[in-house]
Amino acid sequence: MFFKVYNVTQFLEDHPGGDEVLLAASGKDATNDFEDVGHSDDAREQMQKYYIGEVDATTIPARRMYKAQTSTAATQQEEPGFLFKIIQFLVPLLILGFAFGLQFLGKKEKTET
Ligand code: HEM
């Protein structure tokens, strides 16, 4: 099966239906989009100006679909974040504990002397 290919880059601004619809229909088989509008014979004639060739449909790669991350990949990514949070919480506590410990030792030494 062969698709007819049209280059409408120069036609974007002049298209009576606007450029957005053309851009939305680019890079794919736009036959249904074109036919659904009920374009006039004049529009079909104009279209021939932009014809650049044909493409074999079997050579077109399937569109890549967005693939959600697998759960294992997600947990692998979350783990370092979680560990980091624990360290962020523990380090100030350790410093505080160390400071109190030093103070306590200092007081003890004074009372002994
Ligand atoms: C080379 C390709 C195309 C040409 C030369 C073309 C040409 C035209 C022309 C001349 C009109 C004015 C109405 C008429 O005479 O039928 C028109 C309207 C329109 N076209 Fe296209 N068109 C093309 C592709 C497309 C595509 C792919 C779409 C769809 C996604 C589209 C959507 C529309 C829409 C929505 C209107 C407005 C219809 C209305 O307001 O009644 N056209 N086009």
The superfamily CATH assigns to domain 2-59 is: Cytochrome b5-like heme/steroid binding domain (3.10.120.10)
CB 40 near ligand 1, within 6 Å: yes
**C-alpha closest to that of 44 among 56, 54, 31, 53:** 31
ipTM of the complex: 0.91
What pLDDT, in 10s, does the model give residues 91-109? 999 999 999 999 999 887 7
CB 42 near ligand 1, within 6 Å: yes
- On whether the CB atoms of residues 1 and 60 are closer than 8 A, the answer is no
Q: Enter the pTM of the model.
A: 0.63
What pLDDT, in 10s, does the model give residues 8-32? 999 999 999 999 999 999 888 899 9
Extents of the domains making up the chain: 2-59, 78-112
